[in-house]
Structure 1
Amino acid sequence: MDRPLEGRLALITGASRGLGWAAAKAYAKAGADLILLARTVGALEELDDAIVAEGGKSSTLVPLDLKDGDGIDRLGGAIAERWGRLDILVSNAGVLGTLSPVGHIKPKSWDELMAVNVTANFRLIRSMDALLRVSSAGRAIFVTSGAAAKGEAFWGGYASSKAALEALVRAYAAEVGDITRMRVNLLSPGPVDTGMRAKAFPGEDRSTLPRPADLAPLFVELARAEETRNGQVIRFTRD
């Protein structure tokens, strides 16, 4: 069996469903040791049980709300103390917010969008950067959206948060790409059958969409030590 991530330590946020769940199961099959993060411990335990039932190793489960920046810092410290490094960061967690005219977005919704989709990623970078640099081949993968560049009506809040994420990650990639062994990229899934997609397009025929598991090989590819791309938005395309 091909296990390209054998012995590599991966932290996956938003692991309890959708793309995070699919990435976690794929990484387990590829041999990675997993730190799985989501808000609810029950959903994380269900994922861990599924991984173990398929012959994988039990994961380290971290119930944490990513709006808790101090909690992210504590997690970085715990990883440093236990493992001394982090090989792979998959920053997948995100929120859709309210789809509405820009002038009608409530400040609370805007603040949550920025807190989860932007600030939490800054805090993850801040806390995990030193650990990724210690790795022999640190890889960081941030999930973005095509909405960042489209400028579509009613998507101003979500699109703004993803555009800010892309600017943040591209700058980070430029800072580390030439002086470290790290590679930092953005993955743009496109339309995928997830809960967030269903919320945004409630009348859509979901049977026509790719499943989260269809993207799992791309998540593995970007986490491999052999990956050379850096600072790119890599878009999933159906074969």
Structure 2
Amino acid sequence: MSIDLKGRLALVTGASRGIGYFTALELAKAGAHVIACARTVGGLEELDDAIKQAGGSATLVPFDLADMAAIDKLGGSIFERWGKLDILVANAGVLGTISPIGHVEAKVFEKVMTINVTATWRLIRSLEPLLLKSDAGRAVILSSSAAHKCKPFWGPYSASKAAVEALARTWAGETQRTALRITSLDPGATRTAMRAQAVPGEDPSTVQHPSEVAKAILSLVSPGFTETGKLFEMRKGRLLDYRLPD
């Protein structure tokens, strides 16, 4: 059964490539107007062309997630123009370096935490009032199996994704009595630039295309999806239950 998002407003970060690009496109194809955020203007323009070809519409917002003032301004701008937000897909993130913890440069660690964790919190802070104005607000926060595996040499990234999951679970507990539903998503191995950076010798054809993740996200943000505070694992196609407070 197809998912109808006509009349709904969706915001996607990291929308210029990879999972963010295909998620924005999938949401637009389903009828949502997409606010596409990313640093790369060229990638956003390519996305806009693809969305228009598919008969959809988008608003491009090029900015760096390290700019916290811009995130704050984003919420105000959306409120002034639309008055609410129906969907948030917090997808943007950085890997940092694969290195022993003691060898990670301070500036690298700080960048990973700024983009992956602090910016996610700032998005929640800026956009929650808008999502609560929706009759079926939905948020998907991108996580990773690294949050649980904590493999050697992946310290900063693993720590950042564990923190992001903690934010999502806490947020879900705080809003469970509202219409807002929040899901963490572990996409698994996906054919992205970040994956190529992390596993440079891998044949990209052996891992899933980001469009497959986008389809899963589409189902998680539909008004008919009513779970909250859970982790969806793409590899096994299952929701893992986190215990929310009574």
Scaled to the shorter chain, the TM-score interval is over 0.9
For residue 140 of structure 1, what is the aligned residue in structure 2? 139
- 1:80 matched to 2:79? The reply is yes
Alignment coverage as a number of residue pairs: 237
Q: What is the DSSP-based 3-state SS (H/G/I as helix, E as strand, rest coil) of the residue aligned with 1:125? A: helix
Amino acid at match of 1:46: E
For residue 229 of structure 1, what is the aligned residue in structure 2? 227
Q: Which runs of 4+ in 1 moved over 3 A?
A: none
For the residues of structure 1 that align with 2:46 and 2:134, how far apart are their CA atoms? 29
Deviation at 1:238, TM superposition (A): 6.9
Amino acid at match of 2:135: S
Of residues 165, 189, 192, the one that matches 1:191 is 189
For residue 169 of structure 1, what is the aligned residue in structure 2? 168
8 Å contact 1:92–1:142 — kept in the other structure?
Answer: yes
Structure 1 gaps of 5+ residues are none
Amino acid at match of 1:193: R
Matched-pair identity in % = 53
For residue 65 of structure 1, what is the aligned residue in structure 2? 64
Return the TM-score normalized by structure 2. 0.94
* Cα deviations by residue, 1:80-122 (Å, 9 ceiling, x for unpaired): 0000000000000000001100000100000000000000000
8 Å contact 2:168–2:183 — kept in the other structure?
Answer: yes
Deviation at 1:4, TM superposition (A): 1.6
* Cα deviations by residue, 1:180-237 (Å, 9 ceiling, x for unpaired): 1000111110001111000000001111111001112211101111111111110113
For residue 46 of structure 1, what is the aligned residue in structure 2? 46
For residue 217 of structure 2, what is the aligned residue in structure 1? 219
For residue 25 of structure 2, what is the aligned residue in structure 1? 25
Of residues 179, 199, 202, the one that matches 1:201 is 199
Deviation at 1:3, TM superposition (A): 4.6
Return the TM-score normalized by structure 1. 0.97
For the residues of structure 1 that align with 2:150 and 2:30, how far apart are their CA atoms? 38
Q: What is the DSSP-based 3-state SS (H/G/I as helix, E as strand, rest coil) of the residue aligned with 1:175? A: helix
For the residues of structure 2 that align with 1:60 and 1:228, how far apart are their CA atoms? 27
Amino acid at match of 2:12: I
Structure 2 gaps of 5+ residues are 238-246
8 Å contact 2:143–2:187 — kept in the other structure?
Answer: yes
Q: What is the DSSP-based 3-state SS (H/G/I as helix, E as strand, rest coil) of the residue aligned with 2:35? A: strand
Deviation at 1:2, TM superposition (A): 3.5
Give the 5 Å matches for 1:115-154: 115-154=114-153
Amino acid at match of 1:183: R
Amino acid at match of 2:51: I
For the residues of structure 2 that align with 1:167 and 1:50, how far apart are their CA atoms? 35
Amino acid at match of 1:213: S
* C-alpha RMSD of the superposition: 1.2
8 Å contact 2:3–2:222 — kept in the other structure?
Answer: no
Deviation at 1:39, TM superposition (A): 0.5
8 Å contact 1:13–1:36 — kept in the other structure?
Answer: yes
8 Å contact 2:3–2:219 — kept in the other structure?
Answer: no
8 Å contact 1:3–1:29 — kept in the other structure?
Answer: no
For the residues of structure 1 that align with 2:171 and 2:213, how far apart are their CA atoms? 24
8 Å contact 1:141–1:222 — kept in the other structure?
Answer: yes
For the residues of structure 2 that align with 1:232 and 1:214, how far apart are their CA atoms? 20
For the residues of structure 2 that align with 1:232 and 1:212, how far apart are their CA atoms? 21
Amino acid at match of 1:17: R
